[in-house]
Amino acid sequence: MTLSIEVKQLQLKYGSFTALHDLSFQLEGGKIYGLLGRNGSGKTSLLSILASYREQSKGSVAIGGEAPFENAGIMEQVCFIQESGYMNDTSRVKDVLKLAASCWPNWDADYASRLLKHYELPLKKKVTSLSRGMKSALGVTLGLASRAPITIFDEAYLGMDAPSRYSFYEELLNDYMETPRTFLLSTHLIEEVGTLFEEVLILDQGRLILHEETETLRARGAAITGPIESVDGFVQGLTVLGEQKLGKTKSVTVYGELTDEIRKRAHAEGLELGPVSLQDLFVHLTKKRGDGQ
């Protein structure tokens, strides 16, 4: 089962502070979405509303056509895993798994057992005694094994070391292919996990500034490589995000969709055109005054 998400004019206030400003977007079921934003951009606030942890101040949210807040039928179809605060630290790992099995009707105990062995998680230990990496591994195990139609990871894998994180990305993709559902990942590790995203949403200061297919977003930029003088002349008038030099060769990352005419000129001048990283585009789109170049 896949569930769609529809958000209209969503607003969230904490007292006099507005954390989310009139967000509107639609997410089809059965895709992997990336939610990006700088610290304090409102990512966790948005995700907590989608997971029924809190109610919005204004606007509407519909999951599968129904409002999620205090809706038990929808809440059990959504799994929200955060880096911290998603389980009782005094519980043993085996008790956390029992609780998870009672929360999500699609819980896959065999899958959970396989993940526990993979991450070498001790069933009898209390969560409080686990290392940060093991707590993260437990969190991603709960999220994946929940098999919830909407599974949300809010930086839940930050505590894992690099090999474990990459193992998680591979596991998520394999599970997504075998049992399609909606994954929504909030992350700062854009370079690592960005290849998973089918669509990207970017929040900036509580506002949705972009929601696009990942490949469409990548097409907004290009890396231009060639002799220094040729590259410098070619990028005149283009928005430059960054540059690198190696001997007499230079590579410049530019923002802005290149027309067929510009691409032909680049090839005619012997310049190479390559893709731009999602992280470079994100940094450019969320850059504030006073940020370093």
In the chain, the percentage of residues whose pLDDT exceeds 90 is 72
**CATH number for 226:** 3.30.70.260
Q: Is residue 284 part of a domain?
A: no
pLDDT at 291: 58
Q: What is the tally of structural domains in the chain?
A: 2
Residue 128 predicted with pLDDT over 70: yes
70 and 19 in a common domain: yes
79, two tokens:
């799994």
The span from the CA of 72 to the CA of 90, in Å, is 26
Regarding whether 195 and 235 lie in a shared domain, the answer is no
Predicted local confidence at residue 88, as pLDDT: 66
**What pLDDT does 19 receive?**
95
Tell me which amino acid residue 162 is.
Answer: A
Q: Are 187 and 172 spatial neighbours (Cβ–Cβ below 8 Å)? A: no
Given 180, 214, 248, the domain boundary residue is 214
Asked, for residue 125, whether it belongs to a domain, the answer is: yes
Residues 140 and 50 placed together within one structural domain of the fold:
yes
Give the pLDDT of residue 84. 62
Residue 5 has pLDDT above 60, yes or no: yes
Indicate whether 114 and 230 sit together in one domain: no
Residues 115 and 252 in one domain: no
Examine the pLDDT at 289 and tell me if it is beyond 70: no
- In the sheet that holds 78-82, the strands lie side by side as 78-82, 150-154, 182-186, 32-37, 199-204, 207-213
Whether 285 is covered by a domain: the verdict is no
Same domain, 144 and 230: no
- 109 vs 277, higher pLDDT: 109
Range of the structural domain that residue 150 is part of: 5-214
What is the average per-residue pLDDT within 104-117? 96
- Which residue, chain included where needed, has tokens 């989608």? 50
Same domain, 75 and 206: yes
Q: Give which of 32, 29, 38, 47 is closest to 86, Cα–Cα.
A: 47
Q: How far apart are CA 4 and CA 271, in angstroms?
A: 43
Lowest mean pLDDT among 79-83, 222-226, 256-260, 261-265: 256-260
Residues 52 and 90 both lie in one domain = yes
| Amino acid 112: pLDDT | 96
195 assigned to some structural domain: yes
240 and 192 both lie in a single domain: no
Mean residue pLDDT across the chain: 91
Q: What are phi and psi of 15, to 5 degrees?
A: 65, -125
Q: Looking at the structure, tell me whether residues 202 and 106 fall in a common domain.
A: yes
- Residues 174-186 have pLDDT tens digits of 999 999 999 999 9
DSSP secondary structure code for residue 111 in this structure: H
d(CA 191, CA 219): 16
CATH number (domain holding residue 148): 3.40.50.300
Please indicate, yes or no, if residue 52 is contained in any of the structural domains.
yes
- Mean pLDDT for 274-291 is 80
Q: Are residues 166 and 245 in the same domain?
A: no
AA identity, residue 131? S
What percent of the chain is modeled with pLDDT above 70?
A: 96
Question: CA 262 to CA 281: how far, in whole Å?
Answer: 20
The pLDDT confidence band at residue 293, using thresholds 50, 70 and 90, is very low
One domain for residues 163 and 256? no
- Is 293 within the bounds of a domain? no
Q: pLDDT at position 69, please?
A: 93
pLDDT, position 2: 82
Residue 250 φ/ψ region, left for φ over 0, alpha for ψ in the -120 to 50 degree band, beta for the rest: beta
Q: Give domain status of residue 187, yes or no.
A: yes
d(CA 84, CA 80): 11
Give per-residue pLDDT as tens, 11-66.
999 999 999 999 999 999 999 999 999 999 999 999 999 999 999 999 999 999 99
CB 69 within 8 A of CB 12: no
Whether 156 is covered by a domain: the verdict is yes
